[in-house]
Structure 1
Amino acid sequence: MDTKWKSKMGIITWLVLFSFGASGVLAAWIGVREYASQSVLFWIYTVGAAVVLAVTIMLENKHKIVGRIAPQKGESLYKKIPFDVAILLLGFTVILTLLTSQYRGFFYYGSFTRGLMNHLFNVIIVFGLCLMQGIYFYRRFTDFASLEADWKNALVIRFLRTIRDFFANIKVVTKVFVGLTAFFLFGLVTGLTGVESGLLTIMLIGFFLVIVPLFIIIIKKVGQFNKILIHANAIANGHLKPDLEVKGKSELAKLASSINKMKNGVKASQNEQAKSERLKTELITNVSHDLRTPLTNIMNYAEHLKDPNLTEEERLSYIDVIDQKSKRLKVLIDDLFEASKMASGNVELIRNRVDITQLLEQALAEFDKDIEKSSIAFRINHPEKPIFAVVDGQKMWRVFDNLIGNILKYSVPNTRAYIDVKEKDSQVIITFKNISNYELSENIDELFERFKRGDESRHTEGSGLGLAISKSIIDLHEGTLDIYVDGDLFKVTIKIG
């Protein structure tokens, strides 16, 4: 029996019975006084309709037929209808159903049976449409996941959004002009229709629905403009306040956003200027110290050489010291000159297709004696096949020379240093890792500063320009040189395209 009512024929039969019962009961409820004096036929029809309606309700409770009236295939099409249009369609169908239900012309029709059949046909159609829309709308309304999106895509909301966007692109002066014009027209029309109570009521409604909201909007815009003006004056006087709140897409919102960007630019410029001043002071101090020390030694030993009582051995010893210090001085001056050229970008790269692995091996070969003397164990990992990159070989050799030299100068004795070369995603990646013998700053940017030394006491040799020069060279090659510090672990990663 349950299968019978779930079939298409069973659903249609139930819909016919329900339409007859519901329309009969609605008609009796709406127009019972009008038809109370009619023939017994009216009462028989009404009572019969009530009985049929009760039976269909019991069948629905048992077999859940209503849910099958609205097929799932049609639901996807129904969801394409804007939400507010769906509400209007449902409301129109409900009204049409009520109007169709209370029609009783067939009581006076030439043939009662024929009139009743025509009436039932109309009632079945409107009730079927009403039930189907009601089911679809209920499912759509209770689907909270998509209800918000449905409402945002409603025609009314889209229209209001269009109006808002339209006014958002109108200048503030135009908005104020429109507002004042609306005030003027309202006053003019109110004066001309003052004695007409009907028109006055309409004007009052228009005043509260249009003029008052427009006045509030203008007041808010003026207040927002004043905030922007105060903020701009504060920035002009050097006081950097928190960012202005940016709401919407109006001209004032765009102005507030621009002022926020300008303020952040000023703040960044001030920070950069302060950092530049600090670096300039440190640069002068470091340059003075690093140049003065070997220069003082050269001057002192040159003075000693003037002593006629010096033995030949002492004289040669002093000359050797002067030679070492002069070479040290030359290295400092050359590095300073190189760093200045790199910073200015006044460097021409001579690019060639170079085997990076072979270039690294050559750089390591230059340090063979130093590596043998040190207690640092170097571990070199690279593929057997050549890894090529289009670079300036001499400049890249300088990068490797600086980084290998830093490992030898600043590593903890009796530790390992790792150098890895690999190719990934058309990039050559070279990694240098060692354990630092000196405490490293957590501020990575400071390690790239000029004359920055791993040994802050400056007892080790070197200009402190190695990392700064190396980074500048890699930047000129449009690559990256990144530093990673974790405690005493010092890691440099170079990526070249």
Structure 2
Amino acid sequence: MINKYKGIRVKRGSFINTIVRNYIIFSALLIVLIYAVAYLTSYNTYESTIDNGVKKLASAYREADDLDKVKYQKYIGNGSGVVILDRSGKTVYIKGRCPVKTFTQDSIKLIPKNDEIVDVDIHTSTRGDGEKVLFIQRRWTTDIYSEYIDSADTDVLDTKHNVIYSTKFPDKTKYTNDEYKVLTGKFGKDISIIKTGLRLDGKKYTLVAFQKLDMVSAMNRRERNTLLIVAGTIVAYVLMILIFSRLITRKVKKPVNALERAMSDVSQGKTGGLIVYDGPTEFVDMCDSFNVMSKKLEESEKENQAMRDAQQKMISGIAHDLKTPVTVIQGYAKAINDGLVDDQEKYLKTIEEKSQRLTELIDEFHQYAMMNRPDLKLNIETVDICEYTREYLAGRYPEMDIEGRHLSLDIPDDCIPVRIDKSRFNRVYNNIVNNYLKYCGENSTFYCSIYQRDDKAVITLGDDGPGIPAEVRKTIFDPFVKGDSSRASGGSGLGLSIARDVVRGCGGNIILTDYPADPMKTEFVITLPVWQEEGEDRSSRRTDAGSGEEK
């Protein structure tokens, strides 16, 4: 947001730290996701090979009051059958399609449990005497996709199912037809057999199920579940990326939007607005930089507006100050030209005076314009300000003396070197002394003192005249400020403005004190940096007074 509030910035760490922190969180979540996928895949591999339908059917029989009411097809599919055997292997219940209805103890052992898989491999061979032999190998596992085999057994039979060799039943001599069907798993097309334990009325039974194989078998169940796991993993990963991207985007978008709105306001001329943003260091610094720029633009706009107002005021002041002498010159010249005056000498003298005043005004306007040029170069040179001031005031003393004015000096004999433009600095003294001569009466005194304070030369210029009104003091150095009517006649109001610009151009400053030292009523203080040659140390030197003189 952008407003005028100046708050303290709270830097929450760099943007890089934010990215690293979010990346660590993202990586941790990714590890959890990988672990979950690995677990689900392992669980699916095991569960997909287990015929849970038979197990659920056993639970349904256990809870049913009447076995015939149980819809076994619901659990093991259509075209299937169920046989329930007691502990001795006797058939006590039969329902549906059952290729084998009676079982021996050996045949029961050959039936895989609901969590087992039997892979049967049958090979036919011919012995030397021409008799055919069947090699039947059964591999037991809990995962059809795994190469690991829990156990295996091998039987060698002749064509009449006589046992030539058996690892499972070493003492067995012959398999009955039903036993052979269970041994080889040949019950007809797409029929498999499986068993599970069953408890009815507190007694143990064996539930044998004949299932019709279809496409949704153990393999297909695992493939279907694997597809769901893969799809879920992709969705979870995409969601994690979106969340991570969203978090990063929010961190970036908030300051960018604030900057965009703020720059839009600046483009519409609304300067000075500040962005208040707390977040990563880089964006806080960016917003702070914008705030500095916005504040500078506001100050620059104010300065430009003040400059425009000053220019308008200057144009108005120039027009006003030039109008009076020009009007007098035009009127007197027309009167002389029309032959309306007898004493032409008096009129010509007035025209001369007004033209001189017009020249002075134009010179002041020119000097003011020159001092405000950015490419102005002052002719700076090293001057002993004490000697320079004494020579200037010595040149002005006769004028003061003729008009009955007094001069009081307190200037030391020591050299206080400063760097100034002598010709332009002359205008500083001229403007202050001329104002004194214009506005202070007979027997008034002009005061001047110079002393060095640390690395500054301090020049005090003042008088004991009527003083300057308090309401004008704060703007006395502004262009076209002339004070009250008693001190406003005939001036352009640019003298002190030019004096200030000259002093500042020389690296110093000039002020009008609010409380002049007695007996002065008006006191200007000029400070200039003391020039030191390389290797010279004047820091301990202080000259507060010299050989004062009064004339």
| TM-score, with length taken from structure 1 | 0.53
- Please say if residues 483 and 492 of structure 1, whose CA atoms lie closer than 8 Å, have aligned partners that are also in contact: yes
Q: Which AA in structure 2 matches 1:439? A: P
The equivalent residue for 1:335 is: 364
Could you tell me which of 475, 481, 495 is aligned with 1:466?
495
Cα 1:193–1:467, aligned 2, differ >3 Å: closer, same or farther? Answer: farther
1:8-19 correspondence to structure 2 within 5 Å: none
Q: Which AA in structure 2 matches 1:237? A: Q
- Please say if residues 399 and 470 of structure 1, whose CA atoms lie closer than 8 Å, have aligned partners that are also in contact: yes
- Please say if residues 442 and 485 of structure 1, whose CA atoms lie closer than 8 Å, have aligned partners that are also in contact: no
Could you tell me which of 277, 292, 298 is aligned with 2:329?
298
Query: 1:277 Cα deviation (Å)?
Result: 1.5
Q: What are the superposed Cα offsets for residues 78-124 of structure 1, whole Å, 9 maximum, x if unpaired?
A: xxxxxxxxxxxxxxxxxxxxxxxxxxxxxxxxxxxxxxxxxxxxxxx
Query: What is the alpha-carbon distance in structure 1 between the residues aligned to residue 466 and residue 277 of structure 2?
Result: 48
- Please say if residues 386 and 413 of structure 2, whose CA atoms lie closer than 8 Å, have aligned partners that are also in contact: no
Query: What is the alpha-carbon distance in structure 2 between the residues aligned to residue 195 and residue 489 of structure 1?
Result: 96
The equivalent residue for 1:494 is: 527
1:97-496 correspondence to structure 2 within 5 Å: 168=14, 170=16, 174=19, 178=23, 181-182=26-27, 185=30, 188-189=33-34, 191-192=36-37, 222-240=253-271, 242-245=273-276, 247=278, 250-308=281-339, 310-311=341-342, 314-368=343-397, 370-372=399-401, 377-410=406-439, 416-434=445-463, 437-441=467-471, 444=474, 446-455=475-484, 459-486=488-515, 489-496=522-529
| SS of residue in 1 equivalent to 2:269 | coil
Q: What are the superposed Cα offsets for residues 7-32 of structure 1, whole Å, 9 maximum, x if unpaired?
A: xxxxxxxxxxxxxxxxxxxxxxxxxx
Query: What is the alpha-carbon distance in structure 1 between the residues aligned to residue 499 and residue 414 of structure 2?
Result: 26
Query: What is the alpha-carbon distance in structure 2 between the residues aligned to residue 335 and residue 369 of structure 1?
Result: 25
Could you tell me which runs of 5 or more consecutive residues in structure 1 were left unpaired when the two chains were aligned. Answer: 1-163, 197-211
Cα 1:346–1:334, aligned 2, differ >3 Å: closer, same or farther? Answer: farther
Query: 1:451 Cα deviation (Å)?
Result: 2.8
Q: Which AA in structure 2 matches 1:170? A: I
Q: Which AA in structure 2 matches 1:278? A: D
Query: 1:221 Cα deviation (Å)?
Result: 6.4
Query: What is the alpha-carbon distance in structure 2 between the residues aligned to residue 307 and residue 255 of structure 1?
Result: 75
Query: What is the alpha-carbon distance in structure 2 between the residues aligned to residue 187 and residue 302 of structure 1?
Result: 105
Q: Which protein has greater RCO, CA pairs closer than 8 Å, 6+ apart?
A: 2
Query: 1:185 Cα deviation (Å)?
Result: 1.9
- Please say if residues 451 and 463 of structure 1, whose CA atoms lie closer than 8 Å, have aligned partners that are also in contact: yes
* Identical counterparts, % of pairs: 23
Q: Which AA in structure 1 matches 2:23? A: V
The equivalent residue for 2:81 is: none
- Please say if residues 14 and 281 of structure 2, whose CA atoms lie closer than 8 Å, have aligned partners that are also in contact: yes
| TM-score, with length taken from structure 2 | 0.49
Query: What is the alpha-carbon distance in structure 2 between the residues aligned to residue 221 and residue 346 of structure 1?
Result: 45
- Please say if residues 432 and 492 of structure 1, whose CA atoms lie closer than 8 Å, have aligned partners that are also in contact: yes
- Please say if residues 171 and 251 of structure 1, whose CA atoms lie closer than 8 Å, have aligned partners that are also in contact: no
Query: 1:336 Cα deviation (Å)?
Result: 1.5
Query: What is the alpha-carbon distance in structure 2 between the residues aligned to residue 270 and residue 238 of structure 1?
Result: 9
Query: 1:393 Cα deviation (Å)?
Result: 2.5
Cα 1:253–1:293, aligned 2, differ >3 Å: closer, same or farther? Answer: same
Query: What is the alpha-carbon distance in structure 1 between the residues aligned to residue 508 and residue 316 of structure 2?
Result: 31
Q: What are the superposed Cα offsets for residues 356-413 of structure 1, whole Å, 9 maximum, x if unpaired?
A: 2333233324433553466765432111334343433222222211122223334588
Query: 1:290 Cα deviation (Å)?
Result: 0.9
Query: What is the alpha-carbon distance in structure 1 between the residues aligned to residue 272 and residue 417 of structure 2?
Result: 52
Q: What are the superposed Cα offsets for residues 257-296 of structure 1, whole Å, 9 maximum, x if unpaired?
A: 0110121022112101211111111011100011111111
Q: What are the superposed Cα offsets for residues 283-321 of structure 1, whole Å, 9 maximum, x if unpaired?
A: 11100011111111111111222354643xx22111111
Query: 1:249 Cα deviation (Å)?
Result: 6.2
Query: What is the alpha-carbon distance in structure 1 between the residues aligned to residue 39 and residue 509 of structure 2?
Result: 78
- Please say if residues 381 and 421 of structure 1, whose CA atoms lie closer than 8 Å, have aligned partners that are also in contact: yes
Moved more, 394-403 or 423-432: 423-432
Query: What is the alpha-carbon distance in structure 2 between the residues aligned to residue 278 and residue 426 of structure 1?
Result: 37
| SS of residue in 1 equivalent to 2:460 | strand
Greater strand fraction, Structure 1 or Structure 2:
2
Query: What is the alpha-carbon distance in structure 1 between the residues aligned to residue 244 and residue 403 of structure 2?
Result: 82
Query: What is the alpha-carbon distance in structure 1 between the residues aligned to residue 329 and residue 377 of structure 2?
Result: 35
Query: 1:235 Cα deviation (Å)?
Result: 3.0
Cα 1:352–1:259, aligned 2, differ >3 Å: closer, same or farther? Answer: closer
Larger radius of gyration: 2
Q: Which AA in structure 2 matches 1:391? A: I
Query: What is the alpha-carbon distance in structure 2 between the residues aligned to residue 373 and residue 246 of structure 1?
Result: 71
Cα 1:489–1:352, aligned 2, differ >3 Å: closer, same or farther? Answer: closer
Query: 1:330 Cα deviation (Å)?
Result: 0.7
| SS of residue in 2 equivalent to 1:322 | helix
Aligned length: 315
The equivalent residue for 1:45 is: none
Greater helix fraction, Structure 1 or Structure 2:
1
1:38-77 correspondence to structure 2 within 5 Å: none
